[in-house]
Structure 1
Amino acid sequence: MQREEKVLDTALEAILQRVVDIKGSLQELLVKIEHEGDNADWPSYLNNLSVISAQIYTLLKLLKNDKTPILRNYLTLPLQLNADTDEKLLMSTEGRVPSFSHDFVPNLLRTKPEPDVEQRHLTLETKMAQMNSDTATKQINVHNKVVKHVLDLLNTAREEWETETASRTSQPQTCSINETQVLIAAMGTGKGIKNIPGRAPMPRPSPTMPQQPSPQITTSKAVSAVKTNIKAATAMHPYVR
């Protein structure tokens, strides 16, 4: 428990420091806008905005860090309320909150909903009170069926995804990276290939010796002569009708 409190205190101090830095940069920018007015140095403004953007990014990165506790899991409750003016509170809030009383606590610590939310909540309660019990029961049953159907779909999709993931991880390995690299090296550079004794190596064409074209044989006349002889033999056959 003490370790969690120590981690929480450290995270809160770091967050408060980042917030103070952002606040100082914003105040500096506002003072510059008020004093310079139309004679503004726009590159200087852009530099200030870049600094503020970087500070906000750093704060968000700190909040999303795994070591930072999830602040929404913690509750902030008032331990003591006092209607008298508190000088320290007035100084720390720059005169905005004079006392920690019943008028400020509900709005600052959100112990009650905002007026708009509270009005909508009252409207829904009034509508619920005016509704017939049978109609309300039917709507509740329909809502439960829809929710159950959605949950079934989600569970089915999760089971299929888990099964597919398990089947992918359980498949046997069908290749070896080392053997693939050895094969590529042998095919590309001839690494690891040995000549068999007693067998002559395959001749390779010399890059300097030009290759002589193979002689072309013309067969058009021979084909025509064969056709002529066949026709002549057919004409001289004595049993031709």
Structure 2
Amino acid sequence: LTATVFINAEVPVYLYSRVCPTPYVAYAVIYCKADCGIMVTASHNPKEDNGYKVYGSNGSQVSIISPVDKHVAKSIEENLVPLITSWDASVVEKSPLRKDPYNDILKHYNEDLKKLCYFREQNSKSSVTFTYTAMHGVGYPYVLEACKVFGVKEPVPVVEQIMPDPEFPTVRYPNPEEGEGALSLAIDTANANNSSVILANDPDADRLAIAEKLEGLKILES
């Protein structure tokens, strides 16, 4: 629907053909030289609270850029009733204004990610086993790509939470930074696989919590 609004206004749109993590939106804004980027996601909030993240041309969220944030809020208040034409999403598929950036962004994002890898050989020899949960979000395939880039062996997935599911059926609040309450299935998976480190994304994969098993469970946030 968001793409429909832009295309009806004759604004070119880069629309991903599949679900992707929020960092791919911010990155694509800069790579594609777009004027803005939009991500529709509940993020780490309860399923009832879907959200709308907007990024400026510099790849930063406009919620922290003044006065752009105020202009966006004012525009929303002045346009509370959608145009009838905004509901016809069929225009997106047949419009020449729509392009799919997925393959380009997947390639170039990971090429840039590789520039941040300084210990690939050591990584490949590491005996550490990671457990990973996507928290019912989109992160898993992109984490696998990142593991290849850094030479890290694939993590043990929390199977119950690895596929995108907007109902968030196994957690009340899908925020990995909540600690043990949100990571209970990940902890069970880690214990069953002799894994000492848990990596946990929130559903749109722009937050990462790391838990390390020492004498207890230490939650490290990033």
Query: Normalised by the size of structure 2, how large is the TM-score?
Result: 0.19
The structure number with the bigger radius of gyration is 1
Where is the strand percentage greater, Structure 1 or Structure 2? 2
More relative contact order, 1 or 2 (CA 8 Å, 6+ apart): 2
**TM norm structure 1:** 0.18
